[in-house]
Structure 1
Amino acid sequence: MVIRRVVQALAALSLTVAAGCATTETAITPPPGVPSPDTCGTVNIAINPWSGYAANAAVVGYLLKEELNCKVNSYELTETASWAGFVDGSIDVILENWGHDDLKKKYIDGQKVAVELGLTGNKGVIGWYVPQWMTEEYPDITQWRKLNEHASLFKTATTGEKGRFIAGDPSFVTKDTNLIENLELDYTVEYLGSEDKLIAAFRKAQKNRTPAIGYFYEPQWLLSDVELAHIPLPRYKVGCDADPDEVTCDYQPYDLDKIARKAFVDSGSPAATFLKNWTWTNNDQNQVAKDMVQGKMTADQAAKKWADGNREIWEKWIP
C-alpha cells in the first residue's frame, strides 16, 4: 500500500512537471509569422550611390551577420527606388535618409508601409564648394554675390561664356540648376556621373591648382585629404525651398535618419532593434569610407577594422 502511494505520488509529480514544461514552452513560442527573439532571418538593405552610405552598410551588415547571425542582402538603388522597395517588401531599411519629406508623406503617412527608425548620428551638410587654395588667390570667391565676377575662371569649351558648375550623380536630389537661375548666376551645371568622378575632379583641382566650383557634402572622407571651402548662399529658412522653381536659399542642414519597412519592424526581428539602436558619428563613417575607397578594403575588411577598434560603441547596438 505504501509503495502504491509512492508510485502514485511520483506519477502525479511527473505529470505536474511535464505540464509545467509544456506551459513554459507554449509561453515563449511566438505567434505564426513572427520570429522568435533569437532568430534574425533576412535583412534587405538599400545601398544608395555614395561612399558614406556604403560605409554605413558595411558596418551594419557585418555586425548583423557576425553578431546576430542574420542573412544580409544588399541592393544598389537610387534614393527614390529605395523607398519604392518598401511597398513590395524588397527593401527593409534605408540607412541614410537626407530629408525627403515628400517621400515620407507618400510612404509613411499615406501608404503606411514605412516608419522612421531614429537618427543615424550623422550631421549632413550640402552646399557649394571651391578648393581652399582659391580663397587665397581670390579672397571674395566664397561670396555668392561675387560669383559672376569670377565666372570666366570656370569656363570650358562646353559651357561657352558661362562657368562650369560640377555635380556628381544625376540621381542625387539637388537644386543647383534652379538656384543658379534664380540667383541670376552665369553658370551651367555639368553632371559628371558619379560621386567618384566628382571627388576626382575636386582632387585634381586641388593638386593642379585649377579652378573648380561645384556641389559637395559632408560627411565625406575626401575632406580629410582635400580642403574645400564652403560658399554660403542665402540662409536656409523652413519652407524657403517649398517651391523648387522659386528657390533662392541654401540647402537645409540635416540630422540624417533611418527609414524602415513597417512590416519588418513589426515582425519582432532583433535586426530591427539593432538598426534602431545604431548611431555613430561623421568621423566614424569617414574612417570606414576612406578605408574602402582609398585603402581598397572590401566592405567586410573595413567593417571588421572599425568594429575591432570600437567594441564599446557597437556593443550598445546589440539587442
Structure 2
Amino acid sequence: MRMKKQQPADRKNTGSRGARPRLTRVAGAAVVVLGLTGVSACGAADTGSSSSKGSSGKVTIAVPSWVGAEANGAVAKYILENELDTKAELKQLDESVAFDALHSGKVDAIMEDWGGAPKKVQLYVEENKSVVEGGDLGVVGHIGWFVPKYLADKHPDITDWKNLNKYKDLFKTAESGNKGQLLEGSPSYTTNDDAIIKNLDLEYKTVYAGSEAAQITQIRENYKAKKPFISYWWTPQWLNADIDLVEVKLPEHKEGCDADPEKVDCAYPETPLQKYFNADFAEKGGDAAKFLKNFKWTAEEQNEVAAMIAGEKMSSEAAAEKWVKANKDVWEKWLP
C-alpha cells in the first residue's frame, strides 16, 4: 500500500524477481484502516503453545495501512476466529515498527512485507533469530510510474522515460512549479523516485497526495476528466480493474542498480511479498501458526477482498466473511 520513511542506510539491493523484496509501500489510507489499534496499547502477544487441534491462544497480526494488507489481515482473522477458535487482533503498524514488535513478541505475524526494512531483517532474522521467515504470501508486487492509457494513446512515446522531459508541461501543477508533477501517495512511502529523477536528469518533482486514499481520489478525478497525469503506482491494486494505466519504461532493473539509494537510476524490481513470524509463535503457536504459514493466495483473490473494502465500502470483517463463504475450496487448504 505504510510507515515512517526508510532512511537510506536501511535499504539494500535485492536483485532479481526471486530475491527478498526491498521496497515498501506504507500509506495511511483512510479507506482501509478498519478496526485496527496501535501497538502501544498492548503488551506482549499471547502465543502460548497448544495441541495440534483447537485454540492456539490470541494471535496478533501487524497490518500495514494499505488495502491489500488489510485484506490479508481481515481474511486471516476471520478464519482464525471462526475455523480455529482462536482470538485474533489486527494492529496497524509501519513495516519497520512491525519488525520491532515481532522481535519483542508484541505481535506474532506480518502477512505482507515488501522488504523495506532489510537491516531489521538482518538483525532479527539472521542475527538474533527472534523473527523467522513465514514463506511467500503468493502475491508478486511491482512499483512503477504509470500514465493513463488515453494519454499513451495520444502520445505513444510518452511511455519511454527518455521522452518525459518533452512532455513535462503536460504534468505541471501549482505544486510542481516549472517542473512536471510525479504524483505520489503518502510521504511515508519508501520510494526511489527522487533519486531516479535526479540521476536521469528529469525535470520533474514528486508531489505527495498524503495517503493511498487521497492518491486514489486524485487519480480517479484526473482519469474521469481525462487529464494528463503521471503517478507512482503499483500492482496488485484493486483500482487497476477500474482504470486503464500504462507503465512508463524506466531503465531496466539490473542487479546492483539500486544498491545505493542516492544513485538509483533504474526501474523497480518485481517483489514476491513475504510473511514473517515471531520465532516463539512459529514454534509454539500450534494450529494458528501452521495456518498462517499455509496462507497463500493470488493477487486476484487479494484484490477481490480489497475492492470490497475500498471500492464497495464494506467493513473489513464483512468483506472477509463474504470472501471466505464463497471460497472454501481455497482456504480449506490453509488449515492444519
TM-score by length of 1: 0.87
1:166-205 equivalent positions in 2, closer than 5 A: 166-205=183-222
CA-CA distance at 1:87 after TM superposition: 2.4
Deviations for 1:259-303, whole angstroms, at most 9, x for unmatched residues?
A: 111111011421110011011101101110001111111112111
Deviations for 1:146-189, whole angstroms, at most 9, x for unmatched residues?
A: 00000111111222110111111222221111111111100111
Is residue 266 of structure 1 aligned with residue 277 of structure 2? no
In 2, are the aligned partners of 1:78 and 1:171 still within 8 Å (CA)? no
Deviations for 1:32-53, whole angstroms, at most 9, x for unmatched residues?
A: x532222210111111011111
Q: What secondary structure, in the 3-state scheme, does the structure 2 residue paired with 1:246 have?
A: coil
CA RMSD in angstroms, aligned pairs only? 1.2
Is residue 47 of structure 1 aligned with residue 47 of structure 2? no
The alignment covers a number of residue pairs equal to: 287
CA-CA distance at 1:111 after TM superposition: 2.4
Q: Which amino acid aligns with 1:144?
A: W
- 2:90 aligns with 74
Aligned partner (choices 84, 102, 120) of residue 137 of structure 2: 120
List runs of 5+ in structure 1 lacking aligned partners: 1-32
1:95-174 equivalent positions in 2, closer than 5 A: 95-100=111-116, 101-174=118-191
Q: What secondary structure, in the 3-state scheme, does the structure 2 residue paired with 1:140 have?
A: helix
List runs of 5+ in structure 2 lacking aligned partners: 1-47
1:272-283 equivalent positions in 2, closer than 5 A: 272-283=289-300
Q: Which amino acid aligns with 1:136?
A: D
Larger radius of gyration: 1
* Alpha-carbon distance between aligned partners in 2 of 1:234 and 1:141, rounded to the nearest angstrom: 14
Aligned partner (choices 105, 127, 132) of residue 89 of structure 1: 105
Q: Which amino acid aligns with 2:70?
A: A
Q: What secondary structure, in the 3-state scheme, does the structure 2 residue paired with 1:122 have?
A: strand
146-155 or 99-108, which deviates more? 99-108
* Alpha-carbon distance between aligned partners in 1 of 2:105 and 2:135, rounded to the nearest angstrom: 20
Q: What secondary structure, in the 3-state scheme, does the structure 2 residue paired with 1:188 have?
A: strand
* Alpha-carbon distance between aligned partners in 2 of 1:98 and 1:130, rounded to the nearest angstrom: 23
Q: Which amino acid aligns with 1:209?
A: K
In 1, are the aligned partners of 2:56 and 2:288 still within 8 Å (CA)? yes
In 1, are the aligned partners of 2:49 and 2:56 still within 8 Å (CA)? no
227-236 or 33-42, which deviates more? 33-42
CA-CA distance at 1:208 after TM superposition: 0.3
Q: What percent of counterpart residues are identical?
A: 41
Aligned partner (choices 17, 38, 51) of residue 36 of structure 1: 51
